[in-house]
Amino acid sequence: MRQVIVFTIACSLVGRLEAQRRIPSPDSLRAQAAVLSGCYQFPWGDSIPALPSRLPTKLQLSERWFRKLGYHMVGFFEARPAQLQRGAYVAWRPRGRDSLDIALTARSTASPEDLMLSGRVDSDTLKGVITLFTILPDSGHSVPTYSSATVGHFKAARTRCS
């Protein structure tokens, strides 16, 4: 039993070290953020189900580092509006030169449901999916286990910031 525990811990550490090697440098993230930042207008349709947070009609993605939650959101940048619901922040991160994630319910602690927009920018259009992350009932692990479900699609236009 002890060997199994040691092996599990070793595999976990190797996986984390691998993931850390893939994290882009701050300079690389800042360069990607410069390309993707700006204002986006979201015309939401009626096909989006009820969600744990309201969806923004307009977001301004900035190039300023998001620092409100400390190490919980490393590599994220600020967005306006900063909050769509009480106790949760809006933050975003580039996922390459043409893709990004927008966390609509960023917190320092796990919440029962989190909402993320993930998309790709093509010209002046951001297209992507709305993903709902839900904590699964207690699985006996010290770290919560999440399930994710795509609950909708979106298309946002890049607009001039006012």
Please answer whether residues 64 and 92 qualify as being in contact, where contact means their C-beta atoms are separated by less than 8 angstroms: no
Mean pLDDT, to the nearest integer, of 131-140?
A: 81
For residue 132, pLDDT beyond 60: yes
For 28-76, what is each residue's pLDDT tens digit?
999 999 999 999 999 987 778 788 788 999 999 999 999 988 877 889 9
Long-range contacts of 130-135 (CB under 8 A, 24+ apart): 130/48, 130/51, 130/55, 130/154, 132/51, 132/52, 135/110, 135/111
Report which of residues 69 and 116 the model is more confident about: 116
Strand, coil or helix: what is 118?
strand
Q: Which helix (H) or strand (E) holds 21?
A: helix 2-21
Strand, coil or helix: what is 3?
helix
